[in-house]
Amino acid sequence: MSSGRRALVVGTGLIGGSVGLALRAQGWHVTGRDLDEARAARAVELGALDAVGDDGDADITFVATPVGSVASEARRALEGRGVVTDVGGVKSPIVNAVADPRFVGGHPMAGSEQEGVDGADASLFEGATWVLTPTDDTDPSAYAEIRNVVSSLGADVVALRPEDHDELVALVSHVPHLTAAALMSTAAAGAEEHAAVLRLAAGGFRDMTRVAAGHPGIWLDICAENRGAIVAGIDGLQSALSEMRALVDGGDRDGLLAWLERARAARVNLPTTAPRPEELAEIRVPVPDRPGVIAEVTTLVSELGVNMFDLETVHSAEGGGVFVFLVDAAAADLVRGALLARHYKPSAQRLA
Amino acid sequence: MSSGRRALVVGTGLIGGSVGLALRAQGWHVTGRDLDEARAARAVELGALDAVGDDGDADITFVATPVGSVASEARRALEGRGVVTDVGGVKSPIVNAVADPRFVGGHPMAGSEQEGVDGADASLFEGATWVLTPTDDTDPSAYAEIRNVVSSLGADVVALRPEDHDELVALVSHVPHLTAAALMSTAAAGAEEHAAVLRLAAGGFRDMTRVAAGHPGIWLDICAENRGAIVAGIDGLQSALSEMRALVDGGDRDGLLAWLERARAARVNLPTTAPRPEELAEIRVPVPDRPGVIAEVTTLVSELGVNMFDLETVHSAEGGGVFVFLVDAAAADLVRGALLARHYKPSAQRLA
């Protein structure tokens, strides 16, 4: 099918290439560019781009460059008429630097912007979580448009404030990555004394240190841009380790068991891919025409742990509008209650 | 084939059951028992045992119970005529408590003694590292016999002194496990504020915390028995994390890059399954009839990072003996040199 929709991809690595492939499969016309011209040419060869170059007429631009150059590329893309998003692993510095109602920061929790375009895959984002970070200044229509395109790639969108995103990914990605490197280094130091140590490294250790085998380049930007949250995250981990050390050293079996049981329960309950609900309810929320509404509603729903599907914004003649989205029918009352508590007037209706 | 060889397995969980299956496939007669009689009966049903019960005539006994009861079970098995080994995750306390020339501590780096017999698999140990911990008091013939049976299960044997084993597994297993639990708890604490946090947990985090989903029971014994090495290992990890924290906090890109590059190189070089060498050399080492020789030679070779295959001890009429084993031909000179440096008189010959 052809839709006449146009997209621009800046940075045609694994993520940019995968976005291009997925959009083209839906009939989008995709233009792209990369500092490395050979890489952009390769993206055309692989079918991820229709053409190499710029596109001021693009409806949407995905900036998929390393974190350090996202803000300047986003500002350049905003000279065009469309909406702009990115895929960087840190959000506050980028979102603050760009500060434009048509820009919404994004972060797909799949792949990495520094891996090669040859690994690009139209289905990379299917079932993956993709964070979007609207702010008080975000234009609701721009947010809805970006959200719908991202959803169309098969991703489950979670809306978070940029600073919350950064704090949370420090906990579940940045600090764990640095910890993998620390574990690996500690074991390697032991291997200087005993060559045998690394032969004892079985499945669990291999799983835990696998991410340390990745190219470190990307982490320098991330550590620089997300310094505060990472340092706080390391401090949190160090306290947890100190607690555990005291339990082991003191021979406190009950305390240790309780600690490990809590961790086990949390790990077992780790959500897998967000399931599509069996039944959906449509939530309609009349919203005033004021800044920040979109960020408030979407992050509120995300914080409840509820998935939103198929968001759209219906503008009314009187200036305000209506947000319309779908949630799991079982969660409809929860969402409605939370919105009522914030003085919205939502309606919820189960779909047949 | 039937060989008339008899084995006893004490504790018929995943490891004990897998040992039974693998031995029976080679024609051994395997008797087994378990505190949980239903579990022993299930092991018979699954073909892991010929019979439930005890066997004072067993050539070899595998004690595959949780760490806390290994020593008493090993002493009971030593009332029979055969050699005895175990599969517990901590070695010094067990080896010190048993202190018998016919007992050699062991630790297969695969599965766990507390998982169910229904997962038992004759091929569980193929290509897995299996540590044996001879001491100065170990009888060389007992060691050679245990070593050959373990090798026949498909495992690669690494000989280490018990205290070295405990220090090394603290680094590559016990501390990483506790760290996984600490990472999971830290993230779960974050989730109390933001329900969304765990939806951001992508592949890397899942890999790193997977071991925390296991039943914690086994870790209480391990933490009690290997307290010193675990506390030292946590201290080492804490120093590494503090170093990393300082690099991030100080914005030291070069320092951080060097750190991550070192960890990456170590991870990339992590040995996979020890390959069978293309060409083998036979090493023959005349050894005096004194305690400690077997431990010295085998741990020396392991510390060089060299695999030994097909060990046997040939006793001479004059009271001493000859250790005979195979190594990768490319490592023969290294092994010979190390033995010469310890005043042995080894000979090395490449096999045709």
CA distances from B330 to B280, B300, B350 (A): 8, 17, 9
CATH code reported for the domain at B165-268: 1.10.3660.10
Nearest by CB to B158, from A186, A190, A199: name it. A199
pLDDT band at B2 (very low <50, low <70, confident <90, very high): very low
Amino acid at A319: G
Residue pLDDT, tens place only, B85-102:
999 999 999 999 999 999
CB B261 to CB A234 under 8 A? no
Contacts of A185 in chain B (CB under 8 A): 240, 259, 262-263, 266
Class of domain B280-350: alpha beta
| pLDDT of A212 over the 80 cut | yes
Q: What percent of chain B has pLDDT over 70?
A: 93
Strand partners, B86: B63
Residue pLDDT, tens place only, A74-94:
999 999 999 999 999 999 999
The DSSP bridge pattern shows strands A280-287 and A321-328 to be antiparallel
Q: How many CB atoms lie within 10 A of CB A73?
A: 20
Cβ B335 vs Cβ B348: under 8 Å: yes
Structure tokens at A5: 């929709």
String of DSSP letters for B251-292: T-HHHHHHHHHHHHHHHHT---SPPPPSSEEEEEEEE-S-TT
Residue pLDDT, tens place only, B261-278:
999 888 887 776 555 667
> For residue A63, what is the enclosing H or E element?
strand A60-63
- B210 exposure class (CB count in 10 Å sphere: 0-12, 13-18, 19+): middle
Contacts of A184 in chain B (CB under 8 A): 263, 266-267
Residue pLDDT, tens place only, A251-266:
999 999 999 999 988 8
Q: Is B111 left (phi over 0), alpha (psi -120 to 50) or beta?
A: left
Alpha carbon distance A275, B213 (integer Å):
21
Contacts of B251 in chain A (CB under 8 A): 224, 227
To the nearest whole Å, the CA of B319 is away from the closest chain A CA by: 32
* Domain residue ranges of chain A, discontinuous segments joined by +: 6-160, 165-239, 280-350
DSSP structural state of residue A139: -
Residue among A115, A92, A118, A117 at smallest CA distance from A105:
A92
Helix H, strand E, coil C: the string for A172-207 is HHHHHHHHHHHHHHHHHHHHHHCHHHHHHCCHHHHH
Q: Judge whether A248 is closer than 8 Å to chain B, CB to CB.
A: yes
pLDDT band at B286 (very low <50, low <70, confident <90, very high): confident
CATH 3.40.50.720 is held by the domain A6-160: yes
How many helices and strands in chain A, by DSSP H and E? 13, 12
Count residue pairs from A and B with Cβ separation < 8 A: 322
Confidence (pTM): 0.77
User: Is the ipTM reported for this complex over the cut 0.90?
Assistant: no
Residue among A42, A35, A45, A38 at smallest CA distance from A10:
A35
Cβ A28 vs Cβ A6: under 8 Å: yes
Cβ B313 vs Cβ B322: under 8 Å: yes
Would you say the C-alpha torsion A17, A18, A24, A30 has a positive or negative sign?
negative
Alpha helices in chain A (DSSP H): 14-25, 37-45, 70-77, 92-98, 140-152, 162-169, 175-193, 203-209, 217-225, 227-249, 253-268, 293-303, 332-341
Contacts of B197 in chain A (CB under 8 A): 168, 171-172
pLDDT band at A19 (very low <50, low <70, confident <90, very high): very high
Q: Judge whether B192 is closer than 8 Å to chain A, CB to CB.
A: no
Strand partners, B9: B32, B62
CATH code reported for the domain at A165-239: 1.10.3660.10
Interface of B with A in 87-146 (CB under 8 A): 109-110, 128-129, 131
Most confident of A271-285, B59-73, B190-204: B59-73
Residue pLDDT, tens place only, B13-55:
999 999 999 999 999 999 999 999 999 999 999 999 999 999 9
Which of B125, B194, B298 to mutate to test binding with chain A, by most A CBs within 10 Å of its CB?
A: B194
Alpha helices in B31-125 (DSSP H): 37-45, 70-77, 92-98
Contacts of A131 in chain B (CB under 8 A): 200
Q: Please measure the distance between the N-terminal and C-terminal CA atoms of chain B and give it in whole angstroms.
A: 29
Contacts of A231 in chain B (CB under 8 A): 245, 248-249
How many helices and strands in chain B, by DSSP H and E? 13, 12
Residue pLDDT, tens place only, B200-224:
887 778 888 888 887 788 889 899 9
- The values of phi and psi at residue A57, to 5°, are -95, 5
Structure tokens at A204: 């669990």
> For residue A51, what is the enclosing H or E element?
strand A51-52
Which of A177, A186, A207, A301 to mutate to test binding with chain B, by most B CBs within 10 Å of its CB?
A: A186
Q: Please measure the distance between the N-terminal and C-terminal CA atoms of chain A and give it in whole angstroms.
A: 29
Percent of chain B as helix, strand, coil, to the nearest 5:
50, 20, 30
